[in-house]
Amino acid sequence: MSDAYEYVDEDGNPLTPEEIAALGDDVEVVEEVETVDVPAPAVSADTPQEAAPALTGRSKMLLAGGAIAAVLVIGGGVAFALQGIGSQNTVDDVKAGASSKVAAASASVEEKKAETVAIDTCKTGVSSATSLGGTLSDAMADGGAAPKLRLDVIASTALPGAFTAARTDADGVAGEISMLQLTKDGWAVYVAIPLTKAEKKAGDRPAYHKADVSVSDDAVKVTGDRPWAGGDVAGAGSCEPAKAGAYAVSGKVPADAAGLVDGAASVDAIQGIAGQADRAVAVMGNSVALVKLVEAPAEGGDASPSSSSSAVPSK
């Protein structure tokens, strides 16, 4: 008996090689059989007999006249393949092939899931370089490979004069900037006022200057500022602050953002907004900014005007 396949459609019409090739290779084999009457060979009463497995199903695989009919489900279409029964291509072979296909497809799906990582400003660790999405750390411009993410500045506003004056003491030492999300829309930005040598000798304790900040979907405002002794507590569920440093930026970047070179800016403090996976608040220069963490365009690729690969200082 010939080992060659003859393909027919569900109505019994033969399929040409071109029609079969157009179906592609990614198929699912559906094994279903119906019982048929096959004359049993004569068996001696003294010969041990083993129970044969029952053949049941909805009649899409037929075992009759020495042939197997396998149903190939391809993109919603159905084709029947007939082949003679030999040492191969038995029901067990078809089952093994189908299991292999399912295992390979499942592994592919799991790999795709592993490769997909959503943008999340509440996370700070660097994600895989080959994965999608990422964290604030993936927007840091450390002088190595181009960051895969960047900060697109949506809006910014200047910090009060008293706040900026408090950032440096009489000896020229700069104080550390920090921030807390206190409520859903309320933030505070702090500068630790550095002590002069004389103040340290006198035993003075470091103090803070605090700026109250309000954040909405597309705006950020400073609502007040004052000297602060400390004691604020972050709101429940607030994000972990990310590292200060150079970040890839675009959009309405503050004109005084220190270190603004080739689409990068120096960020003194940055923290994701709780409940908004792609938004964060950052201190850039003497301004506080609302930013969106976005995918950086591929090198040499075009970018939309709203997220150009070059930072555009705001006026």
The yes-or-no verdict on residue 34 having pLDDT over 90 is no
pLDDT at residue 49, as a whole number: 54
The contacts of residue 305 (CB under 8 Å, 6+ apart) are none
How far apart (Å, rounded) are the C-alpha atoms in residues 10 and 13? 7
Residue with more model confidence, 41 or 273: 273
pLDDT surpassing 50 at residue 15: yes
Cα separation, 278 vs 151, in Å, equals: 10
pLDDT of residue 82: 43
Say if residue 312's pLDDT is above 50.
no
**Predicted local confidence at residue 274, as pLDDT:** 95
Q: What percent of the chain has pLDDT over 90?
A: 38
Between 66 and 184, the higher pLDDT residue? 184
Position 220 scores a pLDDT of: 97
So what's the pLDDT on residue 69? 44
pLDDT of residue 307: 40
Reduced to 3 states (helix: H, G, I; strand: E, B; else coil), residue 160 is: coil
Higher confidence at residue 124 or residue 148?
A: 148
Whether the predicted model's global pTM rises above the 0.85 cut? no
* Residue closest to 289 by CA, chosen among 187, 143, 207, 169: 187
> What integer is the mean pLDDT of 231-249?
93
Whole-angstrom distance, CA of residue 209 vs CA of residue 232: 12
pLDDT value at 243 more than 50: yes
Average pLDDT, the chain: 73
Note whether 116 and 33 are within 8 A (CB): no
Residue 201 has pLDDT above 50, yes or no: yes
Cα–Cα distance between 52 and 58 in angstroms, integer? 19
Question: Residue 136 corresponds to which tokens in the numbers above?
Answer: 């604030």
CA pair distance 113, 111, nearest whole angstrom:
5
Tell me the three state secondary structure of residue 193. Answer: strand
> What average pLDDT does this structure show over 287-298?
93
Predicted pLDDT at 138? 93
Q: How does residue 160 score in pLDDT terms, banded at 50, 70 and 90?
A: very high
| pLDDT recorded at residue 117 | 55
Query: What's the rounded Cα separation, in Å, for the pair 109 and 158?
Result: 48
Per DSSP, which regions of the chain are E strands?
A: 6-9, 28-30, 33-34, 61-64, 67-74, 77-84, 149-158, 177-181, 186-193, 207-215, 220-228, 241-242, 245-254, 264-272, 279-284, 287-295, 312-314
pLDDT at 187 over 70: yes
Q: Return the minimum-mean-pLDDT range out of 87-101, 153-167, 200-214, 280-294.
A: 87-101
Residue 268 — pLDDT band, cuts 50, 70, 90? very high
Question: For the ranges 69-73, 127-131, 263-267, which has the lowest average pLDDT?
Answer: 69-73
For residue 7, the model assigns a pLDDT of 65
| Residues 309 and 303 sit within 8 Å (Cβ to Cβ) | yes
Give the per-residue pLDDT at 83. Answer: 45
pLDDT at 186: 96
pLDDT in tens, 63-112: 334 444 444 444 444 444 444 444 445 555 645 665 665 566 555 545 54
